[in-house]
Amino acid sequence: MKIKEFIDRFTENWPIKATCILLAVCIYAFYTLSLQDSRSFTVPLKVKTGSGIVPASPYPSRVKVKLKGKTEEIASIQKDNFSAYLDLNYLPKNGSYKVPVLIELPQEALLLDTLEVTVSPQEVSLKVEEKISAFVSASPLINGSPAHGYEVKSVSVKPDTVEITGPRSMVENCTRLQTKAVSVKNADKSFAVSVMPENPGSYLKFKNPDEKLTVTVEVVPVVSEAAFEIPTVMLKALAEGFDVSPKTFPGELTLSGNLSELEKFTVSENTLWADAAGISEPGVYELDVKAFVPAKFAVKSFSPQKIKVSVEKLKTADEFEEKVREAVLPPETGEVFPEPAAEGILENLGNTE
């Protein structure tokens, strides 16, 4: 009878009792949830490998970590203390695998029983290969143009090889690396500069990340040719009392030298000249022409190579008076001319002149 009485009492007004129990469960659940909180952040995804296996395909650089637990407990955890990684040490050989994303928790998180940690994505599809190293040639990268009148003659880099490591297929396909860009803008002399090699990519690494390369750039003047017109060949050392004809001998001159220097060069009156020091009497002479230019230029050609001049003796005042005297006085015959007649002849001669 006691059991039946207990059952009767328990089932008495059972809808009301069931409703109360349900409300109590909901209140408890709501209270429990009110004490829970969640927090999400992203962390870098690293790769751990020590078995000679490295990634050979893309993988996420960051993953999302979600924490769920009591509000005060989550607030005490710093996201910088979390890290995510892929462990490749257990992979046996080359191939494609689904690698789980592992999380390293900070010490304070390990002490929390109610903390729930999830990561997204939970695994990564990854291709891996054997890790090898090799030396590849390094080529200098040059940007810009030298100063006007200058050019880059040669570029060299030392050391001319760089050791890289990475997946076998990528290392074997990498045959050349460039250096960081070296500027030659407005350069007017040779120089050397230390630069880093260009980043080979996310999968290939430098064996010595701090190694720098020395790029030597040889900058030299541009060698060019220029032609100049010469107004006349200068006649030097002609003795006094002589005159020549013709008076002018136009010429041309072609020089070779540095472009910037050629652009500034101007001809002078003795750029082309001939030596007349050996002329001592009237006549026709052929003289060699010579070029006089600064030593920094090379004479490619000039013309004329020779000039032909007609040399005449200038008439002096004494010679003129002698001619006048010969014209005025007849040969000696013993006759004497009147003085006025002589004056008239002199006067006529003056008018003739």
**CATH assignment of the domain containing 52:** 2.170.120.30
Residues 117, 105 contacting (CB under 8 angstroms): yes
Helix (H, G, I), strand (E, B) or coil at 335: coil
Last residue of a domain, one of 193, 218, 243: 218
218, 241, 273: which is the final residue of a domain? 218
Residue 134 has a pLDDT of 95
Give dist(CA 142, CA 146) in Å, integer. 11
Out of 173, 199, 218, pick the residue that ends a domain. Answer: 218
| 70 and 21 both lie in a single domain | yes
The CATH number of the domain holding residue 180 is 2.170.120.40
Question: Could you give the CA distance from residue 116 to residue 134 in angstroms, rounded to a whole number?
Answer: 46
Share of the chain above pLDDT 70, in %: 77
The pLDDT tens digits for 100-156 are 999 888 776 666 666 788 899 999 999 999 999 999 999 999 999 999 999 999 999
The pLDDT of residue 256 is 96
Query: Is the pTM above the cut of 0.75?
Result: no
Instruction: Give me the domain span that covers residue 323.
Output: 317-352
And the tokens for 218?
A: 């040889």
H-only helix segments in the chain: 2-11, 14-34, 71-75, 107-110, 168-173, 259-264, 317-328, 339-352
324 and 232 in a common domain: no
Using the structure block, give the residue that is written with the tokens 């006549």.
Answer: 283
The answer to whether residues 57 and 79 belong to one domain is: yes
Q: What pLDDT is stored for residue 327 in this prediction? A: 56
What's the angle, vertex CA 147, arms to CA 294 and CA 153, rounded to 5? 80
The count of structural domains within the chain is: 4
Q: According to the model, what pLDDT value does residue 40 have?
A: 83
List, for the chain, all residue ranges whose pLDDT scores fall below the cut of 70.
1-14, 16-18, 20, 24-36, 75-76, 108-114, 316-353
- Shared domain check, 239 and 169: no
Same domain as 176, residue 281: no
CB-side neighbour CA atoms (13 Å) of 288: 3
| Same domain for 262 and 296 | yes
Nearest C-alpha neighbor of 194 from the set 165, 217, 224:
217
User: 10 and 111 share a domain?
Assistant: yes
Structure confidence at residue 349 (pLDDT) = 40
Kindly report the CA angle at 126 between 122 and 129, in degrees rounded to 5?
A: 145
What is the pLDDT at residue 321?
Answer: 55
Q: Are residues 7 and 126 in the same domain?
A: yes
347 and 289 assigned to the same domain: no
| Judgement on whether residues 273 and 294 belong to the same structural domain of the protein | yes
Please tell me whether residues 308 and 198 are part of one structural domain.
Answer: no
Q: Are residues 334 and 303 in the same domain?
A: no
| Whether residue 340 has a cis bond before it, omega within 30° of 0 | no
